[in-house]
Structure 1
Amino acid sequence: MADAVMIQGTASDAGKSILAAALCRVLAQDGYRAAPFKSQNMSLNSYITKEGKEIAVAQVVQAEAAKVEVEVNMSPILMKPIADDMSQIILKGEVFKNMKAAAYFAEKERLLKIIKEAVSELKANYDLLVLEGGGNPAEVNLRDKDLVNMKAAEIAAAPVILVADIDKGGVFASIVGTLDLLTENERKRVKGIIVNKFRGEPEAFKSGVELIEKQTGKKVLGVMPYLDKLNLPSEDSLQQQIYSNQDYKIDIAVIAYLGMSNFTDFDYFKTEKDVQIRYVKKEAELKEPDLIILPGSKTTINDLQFLYDSKLAAEIIKQAEKGTEIIGICGGYQMLGQKISDPDNLEGSGQEIEGLSLLQIRTVLEAKKVTRQVRAESLNKLKFFKSGREQVLTGFEIHQGKTIRVSGQQPVFKLNRQKSGEVEKIVFDGTVNESGNVWGTYLHDIFKNDGFRKSLINHLLTKKGLSPDSEPAKTAAEIREDNYNYLAAEFRKHIDLEELYKIIFDN
């Protein structure tokens, strides 16, 4: 029995993450304790484990699908871009340093050691590893620098399943070309192919399957359809700019600046029947939404400057003065204040910039990164949410910056920060303006809390003179489970699972 299997792709966004999640859920349903693994992620969507370690969201989704607790070994290297040629490097959940590509690749031996240790530790605790690759394994100019595709498969002794996206076109060339550019040993490691995102009935692609198998000598394990109904967090790119539910009543605009991070915070609105959510990059796109959200940012000062340059800043201020609801999350919270300073040149700007001054706060960026899961108690300063001590909210913090409230501004939440099972001292988070229509918080995943999210939506409905939604709805956790089970059912329907299990267990 192999104790690992790897999903690689012919290109980025071929569907590796989702199919790895599908396999994780199928394995869990069949009684196996599987662990997801991706040796190296590049993404601005991250998550904080119970131990306070920062990892990529994709492996969190896959761990949920596998019904196992997420841990840092599943995503040991995370690269968070801060410029075209620079990333913040996270090793085993902790900030290492900001690095350009050449400096990063010079650390290859250190990185390989981390990957090998993570694989070894996971193999000791799970029946099977489901590995995910990155981009395309046949980038021949980067072969000696590979840490995420064939090198990871070699370390884990994993057979490889190659996934190709037919929706974008060129599926035959991408499959044949990828295999042709691999070395002989790498080609031998590829044991099967999956054609992904087929629109229409997969059976209609029978002749295509025969052609691929004839050209490659590899078994096509199945043709997966394009899953329009699927709603799971994306690793690193917005697939759509607008998520509109039929007969929506509430319009939410999220400001999509270049350094936007953790846009998965807003996925929970996509399943709310009364809500449309739009990602806005231009002043003309903003219009007059019911709620404007400034999301997290990896490059807060640059993204704030983008708001000024695009004239979005002036429009956001204008709408706030008219009473439009404005929410800032993490970096977006910092932007709502009076000033942001970067004295240690953490973002490469080394400057101080005026904020939108919608909240009376000031922020200084600091080298120390706060990464904590938290339990939050509302201080009942928000118009729409009144709670007692028994109504605890959960979320997590990822930020480099200390924010100070001035002029008697009120905090929004009282936090118990969690790390390694211990509760740290109580701190206060967030700020709300006197009118109550502008507030911010450092808490990511705050909208995962069903009562909090529903209260906000009902507040927006009532504000428009509409009746609040009183229908019982599934929780965010139940909806996520439905998605995993739907994904697994489609995987079982369209993939030759018997052949796949032979590859895994008879390898």
Structure 2
Amino acid sequence: MADAVMIQGTASDAGKSILAAALCRVLAQDGYKTAPFKSQNMSLNSYITKEGREIAVAQAVQAEAAKVEAEINMSPILMKPIADDMSQIILKGKVYKNMKAAAYFAEKDRLLQIINEAISELKTDYDLLVLEGGGNPAEVNLRDKDLVNMKAAEIAEAPVILIADIDKGGVFASIVGTLDLLTEKERKRVKGIIVNKFRGDPDAFKSGVELIEKHSQKKVLGVMPYLKDLNLPSEDSLQQKDYGNQDFKLIIAVIAYPGMSNFTDFDYFKSAKDIQMRYVKRAAELGNPDLIILPGSKTTINDLKFLYNTNLAAEILKQADKGTEIIGICGGYQMLGQKISDPDNLEGNEKEIEGLSLLKIKTVLEAEKITRQVRAEPLNKLNFFKNSSGRVLSGYEIHQGKTVRASEQQAIFRLKRQKSGEVEKIVYDGTVNESGNVWGTYLHDIFKNDDFRKSLINYLLSQKGLSPNLEAEKTAAEIREDNYNYLAAEFRKYIDLEELYKIIFDN
């Protein structure tokens, strides 16, 4: 019996993360204690584990699908781009250093040791591992640098299932070309193929399946349809898109600066029937939204300069004067302040930059990264969340920097930070302006809290003279569970599970 199986793809965004999540839920439903794993991830969307360690959000999603707790071994190496040729490297959940590609790959032996240890520890604790690859395994110019595809499969002794995205076109060439460029040993490791994102009836692709099997000499395990109604967090910026139906009553504008991070914070608005959410990159696209969100940022100073250079800053200030609700999360919170200082040049050569001055706060960027899950008690300072004493909200922090409020500015949350092995500390977070329409917080995932999110939506509706939505709705957790179960049901319907289980158990 193999104790691991790997999902690789013919290209980025082929659907590896989603199908790995599907397989995790199927295996969990069938009684297997399953762990997701991706040896090396590049993403600006991250998650904080209970131990206060930072991992890729994709593996947190897959862990939830597998009904297990997310942990650092599932995502031992995370790369967070900060420039075209530079990334912040997170090893085993902690910041290592900023590195260019050449310096990073020069440490390949150390990285392989980390991957080996993570796989070994996971195999001790779980029945099965579902590995996810990155990009395409046949990038021949990078074969000697591979840490995430065939090298990871070799370490885990995992058979490989190759995923091909038919929606982009060229599916035959991508499959056959990928297999042709693999070494003979690598090709033997590929035990099956899944065609993904088919629009229409997958049964109509029978002749295509026959052609793929003829030219590849590999079994096609199934043809997955395009799952347009799926609502799960994504690690990939390629999947940013506008959401909403024709009956929307409110417009949420998320400012999509180049270094935007953790845009999954806003996934919880996707299923709200009254909401249209759109990503805005230019001043002309802003219009007159009911809510503007400045999201997290991996390069806060550069993204603030982007707001000035695109005239988005001026438009945001106009909206603030009109009374539009404006929220800053993490880096976006820092931008709403009066000044951001970078004395140690953590983000470049800019020592200091003026903020939007919508909040009376100042931020100094620091090398130490704060990564903690938190419980937050609201302090009744937000217009839409009054009389909230006694309620406890959940979230997590991922930031480098300390923010100081002016004496007349009020905090909006009392936090109890959770981190394994530490005494719980009481601290205060967030700031709101005097009129209450501009506020910011360091808390990611704050909108996952159902009462908080629904109160905000109903407040915005009331501000437009519209009736609040009082219909009973599913919680964010219930919606997420529905998505995992729907995904698993579709996987069972269209994939030859008997053949897949033979690959896993008889390999």
| Shorter-chain TM-score range | over 0.9
Cα pair 1:58 1:235 within 8 Å, conserved: yes
Maintained 8 Å contact 2:333/2:441: yes
- Corresponding residue of 1:281: 281
* Contact 1:34/1:130 (<8 A) preserved: yes
Matched residue, 1:199: 199
* 1:458 aligned onto 2:458: yes
RMSD: 0.8
Match of 1:216 in 2: 216
The aligned amino acid for 1:140 is V
1:111 is matched with 111
Name the amino acid aligned to 1:239. Answer: Q
The separation in 2 between residues aligned to 1:245 and 1:421, in whole angstroms, is 46
**Cα shift at 1:244:** 1.2
Following superposition of structure 1 onto structure 2, how do residues 462-501 of structure 1 map, counting pairs within 5 Å?
462-501=462-501
| d(CA) in 1 for partners of 2:78, 2:388 | 38
Moved over 4 A (4+): none
Identity of aligned residues (%): 85
**Residue 323 to residue 279, structure 1, CA distance change in 2 (3 Å):** same
Structure 2, unmatched stretches of 5+, are none
Preserved contact between residue 246 and residue 273 of structure 1 (Cα < 8 Å) = no
Contact 1:52–1:371 (CA under 8 A) maintained in structure 2:
yes
Contact 1:294 1:329 in 2 (8 A): yes
The residue correspondences of 1:82-93 to structure 2 (distance < 5 A) are: 82-93=82-93
Q: Which one-letter code corresponds to 2:134 in the other structure?
A: G
1:409 & 1:295 partners in 2: Cα distance? 21
* TM-fit CA distance, 1:351: 1.9
Residues 463-507 of structure 1, C-alpha deviations (whole Å, 9 max, x = no match)? 000001100100000000000000000000000000000000000
So what's the TM-score if we normalise by structure 2? 0.99
Asked whether 1:402 is paired with 2:439, we answer no
Residue 237 (structure 1) shift? 1.4
Partners of 2:423 and 2:444 in 1: how far apart? 19
Q: Is the 8 A contact 1:52 1:373 kept in 2?
A: yes
1:426 corresponds to: 426
What residue identity is the alignment partner of 1:504? Answer: I
Letter of the 1:473 counterpart: E
Q: Do residues 442 (structure 1) and 423 (structure 2) align?
A: no
1:362 match: secondary structure: strand
Contact preservation (8 Å) 1:297, 1:332? yes
SS in 1 for 2:345: coil
User: How far, CA to CA, are the matches of 2:71 and 2:169 in structure 1?
Assistant: 36
Pairwise mapping of residues 83-482 of structure 1 onto structure 2 (< 5 A)? 83-420=83-420, 422-482=422-482
Deviations 1:262-295 (A, max 9, x none): 0000000000011110000000000000000000
Q: In the alignment, which residue of structure 2 is the partner of 1:9? A: 9
User: How many angstroms apart in 1 are the aligned matches of 2:30 and 2:349?
Assistant: 52
Q: Give the alignment's TM-score, normalised by structure 1.
A: 0.99
Contact 1:301 1:349 in 2 (8 A): no
Kindly state the Cα deviation for residue 99 of structure 1 after the two structures are TM-superposed: 0.2
Number of matched pairs: 507
Partners of 1:108 and 1:350 lie apart in 2 by 32
Structure 2 CA distance for partners of 1:101 and 1:240, relative to 1, 3 Å: closer
SS of the counterpart of 2:239?
coil
Distance, in Å, in 2 between the alignment partners of 1:462 and 1:238 is 34
Deviation of the 1:109 alpha carbon:
0.5
3-state SS of paired residue (1:244): coil
Please name the residue that 1:69 is paired with: 69
Q: CA deviation at 1:407?
A: 4.5
Using the TM superposition, give the Cα deviation of residue 242 of structure 1 relative to its aligned residue in structure 2, in angstroms. 1.2
User: 1:491 is paired with a residue of what secondary structure?
Assistant: helix
TM-superposed CA distance for 1:349, in Å, is 2.9
Tell me which amino acid in the other structure corresponds to 1:502. K
The AA in structure 1 aligned to 2:137 is P
**Per-residue deviation, 1:245:** 2.5
Q: C-alpha distance in 2, partners of 1:121/1:245?
A: 45
| Deviations, residues 179-213 of structure 1 (Å, cap 9, x unaligned) | 00000000000000000000000000000000000
Q: 2:79 is matched with which residue? A: 79
Instruction: Supply the distance in 1 between the matched residues of 2:206 and 2:237 (Cα, whole angstroms).
Output: 31
CA contact (8 A) 1:462 1:468 kept: yes
Distance in structure 1 (CA, Å) of the matches to 2:214 and 2:467: 61
**Counterpart Cα distance in 2 of 1:474 and 1:19:** 24
User: Any unmatched runs of 5+ in structure 1?
Assistant: none
Contact 1:44 1:298 in 2 (8 A): yes
State the distance in 2 between where 1:246 and 1:477 align: 25
Deviations 1:228-270 (A, max 9, x none): 1111011121424310134011100000000000000000000
Cα distance in structure 1, aligned partners of 2:373 and 2:6: 30
CA contact (8 A) 2:379 2:389 kept: no
Note if contact 1:416-1:423 (Cα within 8 Å) is conserved in structure 2. no
SS at match of 1:252: strand
What SS does the corresponding residue of 1:243 show, helix, strand or coil? coil
Name the amino acid aligned to 1:121. Answer: E
Q: Which moved more, 1:417-426 or 1:9-18?
A: 417-426
Conservation of the 8 A alpha-carbon contact between 1:344 and 1:350: no
Deviates more, 1:55-64 or 1:231-240: 231-240
Within 1, Cα distance between the matches of 2:196 and 2:215? 18
- Maintained 8 Å contact 1:367/1:400: yes
Q: Deviations over 1:101-144 (max 9, x none)?
A: 00000010110000000000000000000000000000000000
SS in 2 for 1:102: helix
